[in-house]
């Protein structure tokens, strides 16, 4: 085989692999692009909902909504404050937003979603699932339904 033929074959294989990877991850790419907010031309950032931002540092001044979900029992909100830090907010549905029915934690974004830690508890958002772990053991896994705000 000539070098040109080999190059064309390699290019075709790499293009096919790239297309396959892109196709297999279209949903995740869409989720990521949907969660990116801008303050310039085009899309505008949505403010963090009042139920969540009032628990943030600085009373949530300038906080933006990143994502909001319903588990059936809970409303889970991820906001980014004006310093660029993420926050996880979880509330029991149908209950007043009080310290007994609510949790607000610093969160970190990772390759699959977000993680928030509260002592021995770990709240992991990955794709469309919320997994709650206690001392590393799964306590519950809930399906997340995206909410519009």
pLDDT digits (tens, 9 = 90+) for 48-68: 998 888 888 887 888 999 999
pLDDT band at 28 (very low <50, low <70, confident <90, very high): very low
What percent of the chain stands above pLDDT 90?
Answer: 54
Structure confidence by residue, pLDDT tens digits, 67-80: 999 999 999 999 99
When pLDDT is averaged across residues 30-46 and rounded to a whole number, the result is 50
| Helix and strand element counts for the chain (H, E) | 3, 9
Q: How much is the pTM?
A: 0.69
Would you tell me how many other CB atoms lie within 10 Å of the CB of residue 55?
A: 20
Q: Give the SS3 label for residue 24.
A: helix
What strands, in cross-sheet order, belong to the sheet with 129-134? 137-143, 129-134, 121-126, 113-118, 102-109, 86-92, 74-80, 64-70, 145-146
Contacts of residue 118, Cβ cutoff 8 Å, sequence gap at least 6? 103, 105
């Amino acid at each position: 085989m000539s070098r040109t033929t080999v190059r064309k074959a390699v290019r075709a294989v790499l293009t096919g692999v790239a297309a396959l990877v892109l196709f297999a991850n279209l949903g995740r790419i869409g989720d990521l692009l949907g969660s990116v907010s801008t303050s310039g031309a085009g899309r505008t950032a949505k403010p963090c909902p009042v139920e969540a931002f009032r628990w943030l540092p600085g009373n949530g001044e300038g906080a933006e909504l990143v994502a909001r979900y319903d588990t059936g029992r809970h409303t889970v909100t991820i906001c980014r404050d004006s310093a660029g830090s993420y926050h996880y907010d979880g509330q029991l549905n149908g209950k007043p937003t009080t310290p007994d029915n609510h949790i607000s934690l610093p969160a970190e974004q990772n390759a699959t979603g977000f993680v928030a830690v509260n002592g021995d508890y770990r709240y992991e958002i990955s794709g469309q699932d919320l997994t709650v772990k206690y001392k590393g053991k799964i306590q519950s896994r809930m399906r997340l339904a995206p909410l519009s705000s």
